[in-house]
Amino acid sequence: MADRILVLGGAGYIGSHVQKQLLEDGFEVIVFDNLSSGDKVNILSGAKLIVGDILDIEAIDKAMSLGIKGVVHLAAKKAVGESMIKPEIYASNNLTGSINILNSMAKHNVRYIVFSSSAAVYGMPKYIPIDEEHPICPINYYGYTKRAIEENMEWYKKLGKLNYVALRYFNAVGYAKDKSITGRERNPQNLMPIIMEAATGKRDGFSIFGNDYETKDGTCVRDYIHVSDLARAHSLSLKKLFETDCSYTLNLGTGIGTSVKEIVDATEKVIGKKLNYDYAPRRSGDPAILTAKASKATEVLGWKPIYTNVEDIISTVWNLEI
Site string for ligand UDP, 65-94 (x = CB under 6 A): ------------------------------
Q: How many residues does the chain have?
A: 322
The stretch among 15-23, 189-197, 298-306, 311-319 that binds ligand UDP (CB under 6 A) is 189-197
Residue 260 backbone phi and psi in degrees, to 5? -60, -45
> Catalytic one among 90, 142, 224, 248?
142
Q: Candidates 94, 98, 171, 316: give the one binding ligand UDP (CB under 6 A).
A: 171
CB of 317 to ligand UDP, least distance (A): 13
User: Does the footprint of ligand UDP cover residue 209 (CB under 6 A)?
Assistant: yes
Calculate the alpha carbon distances from 32 to 26, 64, 71, 204 in Å.
Answer: 19, 10, 10, 35
Contact pick of 96, 152, 180, 190 for ligand UDP (by CB under 6 A): 190
For ligand UDP, the binding residue among 220, 225, 271, 297 (CB under 6 A) is 220
Check residue 171 and give left, alpha or beta (phi > 0: left; psi -120 to 50: alpha).
beta
Q: Quick one: CA torsion of 97, 99, 100, 105, rounded to 10 degrees?
A: 130
CA dihedral 235, 236, 242, 243 (to 10 degrees): 160
How does 86-121 read in b/e, with b if 16+ C-beta sit within 10 Å? ebeebbebbbebbebbbbbbbebebbbbbbbbbbbb
What mask, x for binding ligand UDP by CB under 6 A, covers residues 250 to 279? ----------x-------------------
207 binds ligand UDP (CB under 6 A): yes
Whether 142 is a known active-site residue: answer yes
**Under rule CB under 6 A, residue 194 binds ligand UDP:** yes
CA 122 to chain centre: 15
Q: Which of 206, 248, 303, 307 binds ligand UDP (CB under 6 A)?
A: 206
Residues near ligand UDP (CB under 6 A), total = 14
Catalytic residues: 142
Residues lying near ligand UDP in the complex (CB under 6 A) are found at 171, 189-191, 194, 206-209, 220, 222, 260, 283, 286
